[in-house]
Amino acid sequence: MSPKKILAATLALSLAAASAAHAEDGFNYRFSGFGTVGYAATDTDDVLFTNPGQLKGARQNGSGLVDSRLGGQLDLSFTPALSATVQAIAMQNAEGKSMPQVQWAFLRYKVSDSVAVRLGRLSLPAYLVSDYRYVGYANPWVRAPLEVYNLASLDSYEGADVVWSHGVGDGFLSAQVLAGHVSSPMPYDSEHTSRVKSNQLTGAYLTYEIGSLRVRGGLSTSKVTYLSEGTNALFDGLRQAGFGQTADAFEPDNARTTFSSVGATWDADNILLTGEYAQLRSGSKMIGRATGWYGTFGYRLGKWMPYFTYAGYDRDDQRARNDVPPYGPLIPLSMGLDQLAAGNSQHTASLGLKVDLRSNVAFKAQVDHVRPSRHGGTFSAVAPGFDGSAVNVYSAVVDFVF
């Protein structure tokens, strides 16, 4: 279902519920907003620096498109049990345009004091900060570490979830189970038809909060299909050349794919500690297996908080599964398969500073020293002959909420 249809359906149901609730004087609403004005630049033109799902990014000449965004959220309460939420964000998409996108549009029904059911377009709770990833003011970094947050770049899904919440010991435990599907465009210069689909999506996540500690972990699994003119042509060529089994092994066509993660944050007094570990596993050799992790330490000095992050990413090399000999007319097929199957890795040391300018405005500056493999790590548009030299990324943002 398209974002416009989801938004229209949610608003129609919301208005109907609002009319009934208004008659009982039980209706109220709340609007809130958030945004980021940012600038990023690198010290090389050999790679392109982007956030997941973006077409345009930063090189030496810099860009304001990578981190800048503006979002708004409308929360509607019809009765003590029934509510709705719609969130839209204007930020750069897979076509390089900063158009508003519906992130959330769902109805929530509270079955009991501890159980709630939601239906519509929902946040995929795959990460520690999934619920507020794009609310820059709520996060310590300029952006969530890409070594982890680039593994599964899908932010939301269409379906339903059930959330059970209850006090456990001195803390609070939430258990969430979900089901649905998602279809998302992928950024490519030469074509606008690339898309990744996740069908039969299911997942389960636990979140536990006690004092200054918050922990979240879980997994989701789905059947992933990757649609692209370039890869489709490669796999068709392999089958015509008699390498059908190889094409089947690499092509993501309803390939069972699982993403698991665990993360924690300790935020007390002057000290902030946070980190995550995530794994991506797929039956498709093109998607393959990848892991990512990071750890952040911050120390508050009044309104100032310097912080340090160290992160890593590694994708397994699947080229040994390429049984297409690089000879004669098979050379393009073999080279294309090698490009899809090549391993990749990256390690990043980041030093940053967050300054609370006002109660709702923060300034952040961050320098990332990135050591990617020669395949570019999380960078895109890697220049031919790139040797894996270190890349420095310089970023500055102003985050705000209202």
Place of tokens 């519906």: 102
C-alpha angle 358-361-365 in degrees, rounded to nearest 5: 115
* Closest-CA residue to 354 (of 402, 294, 399, 309): 399
On whether the CB atoms of residues 334 and 317 are closer than 8 A, the answer is no
Q: H-type helices in 283-330, by residue range?
A: none
pLDDT at 206: 98
Q: Which residues contact 184 (CB under 8 A, 6 or more apart)?
A: 53, 94, 153, 154, 195, 196, 197
On whether the CB atoms of residues 140 and 128 are closer than 8 A, the answer is no
* Closest-CA residue to 262 (of 208, 210, 305, 300): 208
Pair of tokens at residue 142: 């300029």
pLDDT at 154: 84
pLDDT at 25: 57
- Give strand pairing partners of 281: 258, 289
Cα–Cα distance, 233 to 228 (Å, whole number): 8
Cα–Cα distance, 284 to 249 (Å, whole number): 6
Q: Which residues contact 194 (CB under 8 A, 6 or more apart)?
A: 94, 185, 186, 187, 188, 226, 227, 228, 229, 230
Output the furthest CA–CA distance in the chain (Å, rounded): 77
pLDDT at 20: 45
On whether the CB atoms of residues 44 and 368 are closer than 8 A, the answer is no
DSSP H or E segment with residue 183: strand 171-185
Q: Which residues contact 239 (CB under 8 A, 6 or more apart)?
A: 247
The pLDDT tens digits for 60-80 are 999 999 999 999 999 999 999
pLDDT at 230: 86
* Closest-CA residue to 107 (of 127, 131, 71, 81): 81
Cα–Cα distance, 390 to 369 (Å, whole number): 7
On whether the CB atoms of residues 402 and 360 are closer than 8 A, the answer is yes
How many residues appear in the chain?
Answer: 402
Residue 16 three-state SS: helix
Pair of tokens at residue 349: 């040391």
Pair of tokens at residue 193: 């038809």
Residue ranges in the chain whose pLDDT is less than 50: 1-23
* Closest-CA residue to 372 (of 318, 316, 313): 313
210 CA to centre of own chain: 26
- Give strand pairing partners of 262: 217, 277
On whether the CB atoms of residues 239 and 338 are closer than 8 A, the answer is no
Residue ranges of domains in the chain, CATH in brackets: 112-401 (2.40.160.10)
On whether the CB atoms of residues 288 and 282 are closer than 8 A, the answer is yes
DSSP H or E segment with residue 166: strand 156-168
pLDDT at 237: 95
